[in-house]
Each structure stands twice: as structure tokens, then as C-alpha cells.
Structure 1
């Protein structure tokens, strides 16, 4: 049992009589109430699965004390507190925080928080509208305000849905063995004898689907080089449910079949301009994570040099264009589950992994994600960075069966030949070295990637031996320059430009070289008596030692 978006754990020492930090506990309860609810286990350490052996809750009044203190410090928060016994017979306190479906919870001093993955995040004033929209989106799925009787369904869509669920490898036998009505209840397709909004969306009749506040509609438009419309596919007649919309986009747009052949000797591979797996994942994201309480169609605009997918609304709270690879939050929880159980989308948190892996493996640049107040736009470029990168990635994937995160890391390095630890961490949104190692996986062990330097000067690059082995002809730069060559470069520069500062030297020999590497070599050359310095810190000037110049 690990901490996640629904679970938080605290040591029993947290409850310290009059010194207990009740405000901290109240903040955590507000976080869960504004997200999807959750559990706080007091008496289980962060790294532990069970409470300590023979642990007992001696004060049996603690549940009432906790309930009272949280009630005094929060607004719109509902909790249930109990003393539980774990499998090892030890006791702990369980606080169940109920999801606040209709309103926004806060502390009594007017502060707002929300649970994002395993962290409690404050909600700034300018993000309150987004939090409210996300909350309404979650409620929207289960609402039965249209009062459409559960018997008013589209027979074909209902039968297809039930068959798809029972034939899915992702659905457990227990769920498959439910009768039809139980299955529809389980997936929130119907409730209290009526179709929910989700039910109308998936198995409802056309007229009922059209009567929803903002039913999904997709427009696929192709533009020429003058950005004039030359072809379009309109899917706005409300005949199709989300699965059928996705199928029509994938099957009725010929652009996904266009490709280019990459060949050299026996190596031949057709690389699609827009990989269908990428198109599928981005369209699924647009359908699943859009706000169905916001007006607007999904637009897929195809230009000669790029594809743009526009989705109405903003990203879910806690997700930004910068962290979209590492953060994943389901805005429409029940719709997401249907898509996942039917095998139409990747598991939570891996959708953009797939997009990145497919694009980088095809020698294409990373997608560009833009967010405005009204919509999210994802741009996929049509061109390739390099056919050589395609060869390298294809060879590495075939020879070593790389995992998705390893493909992404290797693809990034292949396109640039090397990155500093800081640069690649920023791209992958990893703040800790442990997280970066997780993304690099076995690449260093397999000798596909080499690591040089340490600390801020750490640099990762594709192994030159592997590059030579496959006759890779990447672009040339100085990022991976060996120390002895860099030393020679510095020496020649200072011969021509004596008494130079660090910035001047760095700019002349090549800004692509890691600055920490240049500083390290300068210090080393000073320590070895090759260079002399004048001044201190940022005013330090470097020159060649006079006796060395005289010996030249």
C-alpha cells in the first residue's frame, strides 16, 4: 500500500496531544475532498504496508477528537474516523475523506487545496475556476437531469457495449459474469432507473445525445500551403458515441496512411508522417479529458507541415504543458474507465509516454502542447529530424527490446547526441536523480548510453561504440568533446585571446559545451600550472603561463 492520489499515511507520533498539528491534517482532508476523496491512515509509516507489530490505540476517544478538530478547521469536508485492526493484529486509525461533489472545500481561514497524485497542492485564486470546472465534469457523468428512462437506449449500441466489455482482456471475470443490468450500473451507464449523462453519451439514442449540454463533435480539416480548406470530415450529427467517433477518425481520414520509406542497404522501413498510434492517443485524450460542461468542438487540423488537435477547455488541474509527460489526472473518471477497459487508451499516466516513444522512435520532434484560457492544442510536426535517428532507434529497439521510457530517453539523446542531467531532467520533468535513473532504465547497463562527469556537470550521450557499430552519421557538435581535445581548444583560444574571462572563452570555443565541464577543465589547467589567473570570482581572467608560452 503506497501513497497515491487516494491514500496518505502518517506516523502515530503525528497525534501528539496538545502539540498535534491539526491544521496540517485539516489541509490534507481539504485536499482529498476537493479531489476524488481518499483515506488517511494514521499509525502506518510512509514506507510500511502495515502498522508496527503490537501497536495499539490506547486512547479510544481519538476518532471523536479527530472528527471534532477537523470539523472546526474545515468547510464542506465530510469524514468518517474509525480504529482498524490490520492483518498483523496491530491497530491504526483510518480517516475516510468523502469526495465533495457539489462545492469546493476549504480550511476555515479561507485556504483551498487539492490532491494531485501523492501531493497536496494549494489552489491559487486564478485557478479556482478550473477546479470548479473539473469538479462539475466529474459530477456531470453521473447526473440524470435529462430523466431519460433506462429503457430508452439504442439497441445496437447497448449490445455492442456489453459484448465489448465481456470480450475485453482488461475486464475481470467477476465483472464479466454480472448480468446486463448490473454491468450498466457498474459503469454508471444508468442510475435509479434512468440513463446517466454518460449512459446517454454511450448507449443513448441520437435525439437524447443531441440534447446533452455539449455532446462531443469532431471536425477534421485539411489545409493547403496557403492555409485554405481543401477537405473536411464533419462528425457533428450525434449519431456516434465516443468509441464510434474515434473509429471514424482513424478509418475515414486518408492522411494517416501517408508515409516515407527510409532505406540504406538492406534496411527498409516505412515511417508514417503521423503514426496512427499517436493520432489515436491524442484523439482519445481530447474525448476523455475534455470538459463536457464547456462549449466547443474538437478540431483536427492537418497542414502540409503539421497536425494540430484542438480540444475545448483547459488541462485538468495539476497538469501543465511542461509536466504533461509525468502527470496524469482523469477529469472524467467513469468515461476514462470505459475507454481503458475497452482497450481504447493506455493506462493512466502512460498515454503521453506512448506519444513521445512513437514520435522519437520515428525520428520526429516532440509534440508541442499549448494551453490558453479556452482550449488545449497539441501540435505534431510532419517532418523528420533525421533518417539516421530512425535507423539508430530501430536497431536499438530490435536488439534490446527497450521499454517505453528507455525509448524516450534514448530518442532524446539520439536527436541531440547528448544532454546534461539538468537538460534531460527538465524535458522529462524529473527533479530528482532517482527519477531520472528510472527513465534511463537499462540504457547505461546495456552500453547504449554513457555517463560522464558528476554533479551539475553530469552528461549523458549515446555510446560512440554503438554509433560506430551501426554507421550512424548524426550531426556534429562539440557537446561530447573529450577532455584532452577541450583542453587543447582552451589552450589555443587563450593563445589568441590572453587575459580572457570565463564567458568570453566559453562563447568562443562553443556554447553547446557544458559550462560546468569548461569550468572543471579551466580549474584543472590552473592547478596543473598550465594557466594563470588574475582577479576573483566573476572577474577572474585566464592567461597561459609565461614559461609555457616561451617553450612553444
Structure 2
């Protein structure tokens, strides 16, 4: 677009607003401001705000010095409204024009400025009329997956993907005869083919890679691995542009590579079991949820960013209509790709609609990890961060013991979240019915007779105490301190004393070193003041939490086994 094109635009028909703004223009001080017009134009399904051109016909270029740092303006608007605008500068005889292109609001969601949904009325910005407001909130997102992809036919579908879908459907529905149906019959029964035409659900789920790349390239998934969150260049990158019934396994294999998905050994008594950095059920559910709910009209890909301590899954399009971060676990939503979601449910790839997020929360919290984090989401993308750190091993064992017992009822996401809140001392907004249920099954009790505050059952706190000790010989905190100090090489006792002076004295350090040598964790070389201590060779390639976990697990096998 050039200045000549801008001059031809009409304010009402072309959704454009011209402002002279010769020296400056209000950013947010009143309705008639950058933020006010951004909201109003977004509510009109998008448009342009142009500074430096008069609003009377013929539109004259007067030039504007407002918002010379257009990059900062874009950042500020995104910060304040969550809207990604695009800015362009044009010049006519050295007179500067700034054009701000504003995208449409999401379907079914009016935008607000100072808690008021705005619309343009002549030269004014007014509260949106009831008629316009109702028309917006009653909008329904069309089912993109149901739309026919006119250019393809059955020959453009991947035979292996079709067989996988048939096998999954047959297994989930307990219908062996489904395996013997013809491809045309299967596609017709599942509504992937209508009047011999394949829809986009069929393309996404079953299309050959080259066909997907040609007709829906944004449906690919990009996986990137970085060794640090702050790192910009990736260490490894793959593009997955396969039919979903094949792609989901490829995605999991990338995430689950040796060295990228580590084990956390957890011990309870004589038994040791592992928690993985990335739980397969969680990852598959999160990925399929992202693919089913993403907006395919946006020409951006789903992106997975994997790091040693977290994974981020980002998909284009905000939350579906009616869904927010606050009501994510309580509201019943309608997926954007309803047909595709229905097939994923029928084939057992995802939970029943609306329960996928519940499953992600349940597993993450039950493993003693942090709550899934959607805080980086906005109107134009959903971003999910999953942390790997097992923050509370005792809580994981506490939940596991109950869920694997013969006691009923088993806990769902609401019960587990309530337990987490009580564990953390949060008592506001707890559901009385859930609290009562947890009390009845003996997982919580009142902190005292005359209070409405609760604590978890005693065995949780006993588990915490148990986790802090290794037999009668060591404290976990001391082992962690010594291990981390020696992870980069050998040290003398004086060097250890300098490093650990705020935590351990010389006698404590000396005692621990001798005991750890006896227990084949450390070795020493040299004599007298030249003695150097280092980890046994079997630990030298380990670092951080992984190193600590292995050493503690080895010691617990020896001292916590009765």
C-alpha cells in the first residue's frame, strides 16, 4: 500500500480513520486516542488508523511527527491490548505518514477500552450499541475442518495414515469389523468425504505430506530444541508436515529423544520409580489439543520449543469462544475444528471434548510439578508452558498411593487442584463440596477444631520428613550441597570450606566427605593438605538436579531399604 492508495480509502466503507496528528497524538488519555481507535476498528473486523493525512476529502498529506519509534508503538499496543498491529511509514515531499493496520477482533469477542466496548459513530467513539454487541457475542466460529478442500481427492490421502485411523477407531469403539471396510466407506462414515469430496479434516488427518504442504502449509508443526531458555539460535529443528495420525508419533519421538527427556528417580521405601521430564500422555494431549483448537485461517504454524527444564507449545488463534485462562478448567467450549475433534475422540487420540486440559492439569500436579502455565496466551495465540522440575516428590507419592489403592472415589482434576491449594495454604474460593469429599475420604483434616482451615493427611508430612533424610546417616540438603560443589571437578577440603562456609562447617564437610567415600559416591587422591575429593566416574557426566537425583537414589537404595 502506498500514500496514493491510502488517499482513496473511505472512512466507513474501508474501515479507516485519518488524523492529522502533526506533532503528536494521544496514546491512551481519552477515547479518541491510539488505543481507543485500535479497539473500535478491531471491533469493526479490523482497519487502518492513519496519522499525517487530513480526514476531509481530498485527503491532504500534512505530515506527522507522532510516534517516531513505530516499533515501540507496536510493543505498547500489544502490551496494553494484546493486539498485534502493524505499522508502516510513508513519505511525500519529506512529509511523514504513519499507517497502523489493526487486525480484527476474535470471533465472538468484543474488545474494550477502559472497560467499554467501543464503536465509531461519525467522528466520535461511543459505547457499542446493544445490537452490535449482541451480534458479536452470538457469532459462531465456522468449522474449518468441515470445509471441502476442492483440489484433492482420495488418491491424495496417505494409506498408512488411513490404516492407523481405522485401527484406532476399531480399538476405541470395540468394532473389529471396521478394519475391513473400504476406504471410501470409512471416509464417508466419518464424514471426511462428502459427495466424493475430501474436507480439510481429511486433509489434516490423512493427507499425504506433499499435498498438505501444497494446500494447507500452515498445518505443519515446528519443533525446536535449545539448551537454554535465553538462547536465540536453536540447537536442533525439525518441521513435521505429515498427516496427523502419523505426525503425532513423530512429534513424540523428537521430544522423547535420549538425553532430551530425562528420568527423575523417586523412591518410596524399597521401591524406586521414575518420573519423566515430559509425560507422554501430557505431551500427546497438549499437542492434539493445540492442533484441534488452532485457527487454520491464520497462516502460522504450531510451534514446540523444548528446553532442558520446560517445553512450550504455541498454536495460532486465541482460546475458543467463551474460554479464558480463568475459566479454562470449568467452561464447556466448542472446538474450532469440531469435525476433526470428533474423529480424534472417536479414535481415542484425545479425551472427550473439554477434558483434555483437565487431564494435563491432573497429571502435572499429581507428579508434583508446577501447574501448566497459559499466561503467555493472548487473543491471537495460545501458549502452554510445562515445567519439568518435580517440586514436591512427597505430594506425588501421596497422590499416587491413594489413586493406586482400592479406595473410592478416585480423584479428578478438581480434587487434585484443591489438595494443591490446601497444601499451599490457600483457602479462598475452595468449593465446599470438593472440600467435604476430600475430608470424607480422609485426605485432609481441619487444622484445629475451631477453624475453617485444613491440612493434608499426616502421612503427607511424614513423606516430606522422609524425603529430607537418607536413613540415619545423611540429610538430602547436605548431599545436594556437596554434590553440586563437586560436579565440575575435584576440590580440596579448604576449597569446599570456602564455597560452603554459609551452610556447613569444616567438621561437617569432613564427616560428609569420609562417609560419601565409604558409600562409593566420592573418591580422593593425594594426601594431607593436598588431598582432592571428586565424584566417582559414574557421576561425572551428570549435572544439577539429575546428578543429585542419581546420588540420592543410590544412597536411598542402601539406607532406606528395610
Name the TM-score class by shorter chain.
0.5 to 0.7
> Which of 294, 317, 329 is the equivalent residue of 1:325?
329
- CA displacement at 1:469 relative to structure 2: 6.0
Q: Contact 1:353 / 1:405 at 8 angstroms: preserved in 2?
A: no
Q: Which residue of 2 aligns with 1:161?
A: 165
> Which of 247, 259, 277 is the equivalent residue of 1:273?
277
- Segments of structure 2 that go 5 or more residues without pairing to the other structure are 1-106, 109-116, 118-128, 469-562
> Distance in 2 between the 1:128 and 1:368 partners?
32
Q: How do 1:100-119 and structure 2 match up within 5 A?
A: none
| Structure 1 residues 252 and 399, CA gap change in structure 2 (3 angstroms) | same
- CA displacement at 1:174 relative to structure 2: 9.2
> Distance in 2 between the 1:317 and 1:454 partners?
45
Q: How do 1:192-341 and structure 2 match up within 5 A?
A: 192-225=195-228, 226-236=230-240, 238=241, 240-253=242-255, 254=257, 257-263=261-267, 265-329=269-333, 330-341=335-346
> Distance in 2 between the 1:149 and 1:414 partners?
51
- CA displacement at 1:180 relative to structure 2: 4.2
Q: How do 1:15-414 and structure 2 match up within 5 A?
A: 135-136=141-142, 138=143, 140-165=144-169, 167-170=170-173, 180-225=183-228, 226-236=230-240, 238=241, 240-253=242-255, 254=257, 257-263=261-267, 265-329=269-333, 330-370=335-375, 371-400=377-406, 405-406=411-412, 409-410=415-416, 412-414=418-420
| Structure 1 residues 356 and 156, CA gap change in structure 2 (3 angstroms) | closer
- Structure 1 window deviating more from structure 2 (218-227 vs 144-153): it is 144-153
Q: Which residue of 2 aligns with 1:486?
A: none
Question: Per-residue displacement from partner, 1:321-370 (whole Å, max 9, x unpaired)?
Answer: 11111224222111111111221111122212211111111111101113
Q: TM-score, normalised by structure 1?
A: 0.54
Q: How do 1:432-511 and structure 2 match up within 5 A?
A: 433=432, 437=433, 439-440=434-435, 442-451=437-446, 458-464=452-458, 466-467=459-460, 470=463, 472=465
Q: How many residues get paired?
A: 338
Q: TM-score, normalised by structure 2?
A: 0.53
- Structure 1 window deviating more from structure 2 (254-263 vs 269-278): it is 254-263
Q: Contact 2:252 / 2:280 at 8 angstroms: preserved in 1?
A: yes
| Structure 1 residues 308 and 404, CA gap change in structure 2 (3 angstroms) | farther
> Distance in 1 between the 2:201 and 2:402 partners?
43
- CA displacement at 1:451 relative to structure 2: 4.6
- CA displacement at 1:380 relative to structure 2: 1.1
Q: Contact 1:141 / 1:198 at 8 angstroms: preserved in 2?
A: yes
> Distance in 2 between the 1:130 and 1:472 partners?
53
Quote the RMSD (CA, aligned, Å): 3.7
- CA displacement at 1:312 relative to structure 2: 0.8
Q: Contact 1:354 / 1:404 at 8 angstroms: preserved in 2?
A: no
- CA displacement at 1:460 relative to structure 2: 3.5
> Distance in 2 between the 1:175 and 1:328 partners?
31
Question: Per-residue displacement from partner, 1:45-82 (whole Å, max 9, x unpaired)?
Answer: xxxxxxxxxxxxxxxxxxxxxxxxxxxxxxxxxxxxxx
> Distance in 2 between the 1:410 and 1:349 partners?
17
